[in-house]
Chains A and B, each alone.
Chain A
Amino acid sequence: MDLSTNIGALELRNPVMTASGTFGYGLEFEDFVDLSRLGGIIVKGTTLNPREGNPYPRMAETASGMLNCVGLQNKGVDHFCSEIYPRIRDLDTNVIVNVSGSSIDDYAECARRIGELERIPAIELNISCPNVRQGGMAFGVTCEGAASVVKAVRKAYPKTLIVKLSPNVTDIAEIARAVEAEGADSVSLINTLMGMAIDAERRRKVLSIGTGGLSGPAVKPVALRMVYQVAHAVKIPVVGLGGITTATDAIEFLLAGASAIEIGTANFLDPSVTMKVVAGIEDYLQRHKFNSVRDIIGALE
Chain B
Amino acid sequence: MKKVLDLRIILSERVAANCVKLVAAPVEGPLPECKAGQFAQLRADVPGAFLRRPISIHDIEGDRISFLVQEVGEGSRWLASRQEGDIVNAVLPLGHGFTIGDEHSALLVGGGVGVAPLLLLGRRLKAKGIKPTFLLGGRSAGNLMCLDAYREVGEVLITTEDGSLGERGFVTQHSSLNSKLSTLNCLYTCGPTPMMKAVARLARERGIPCEASLENHMACGVGACLCCVEQLADGHNHCVCTDGPVFNINDLKW
Contact = CB atoms under 8 A, between A and B. Distances in A.
B231 interface: yes
The secondary structure that dominates the A interface is: loop
Interface string B40-74: 00010001111110000000000000000000000
Interface stretch (A27-35, A105-113, A122-130, A187-195): A27-35
A271 B219 contact: no
A64 B227 CA distance: 18
A63 B47 CA distance: 8
Contacts of A65: 50
A63 B218 CA distance: 16
B50 A31 contact: no
Interface residues of B, number: 31
Nearest to A62: B50
B224 A28 contact: yes
Given A56-B216, A66-B51, A271 B226 contact: no
Interface in B206-232: 216-231
Contacts of A269: 43, 50-52
A32 B219 contact: no
Contacts of B218: 59
A22 interface: yes
A272 interface: yes
Nearest to A59: B227
A184 B10 CA distance: 56
A269 to B, nearest CB: 7
Given A24-B222, A56-B228, A271-B91, 10 more contacts: A24-B223, A24-B224, A28-B222, A28-B224, A29-B222, A53-B226, A56-B231, A70-B226, A73-B226, A269-B50
Given A31-B1, A32-B4, A268 B51 contact: yes
Interface in A238-272: 267-272
A88 to B, nearest CB: 14
B180 interface: no
B2 interface: yes
Interface in A41-64: 44, 52-53, 55-59, 61-64
Nearest to A60: B217
21 contacts: A22-B220, A23-B224, A28-B223, A28-B242, A31-B2, A32-B2, A32-B4, A52-B237, A58-B229, A59-B217, A62-B50, A63-B50, A64-B47, A65-B50, A267-B220, A268-B51, A268-B219, A268-B220, A271-B2, A271-B91, A271-B220
Contacts of A14: none
Contacts of A44: 224, 226
Contacts of B217: 57, 59
A73 B229 contact: yes
Nearest to B227: A59
Nearest to B222: A28
Nearest to A52: B237
Contact of B237 (A29, A53, A216): A53
A52 B236 contact: yes
Given A28-B224, A29-B222, A61 B50 contact: yes
B204 interface: no
Contacts of A32: 2-4, 91
A216 B216 contact: no
Contact of A64 (B50, B219, B224): B50
Given A53-B229, A56-B216, A58-B229, A268 B2 contact: no
B226 A58 contact: yes
A280 interface: no
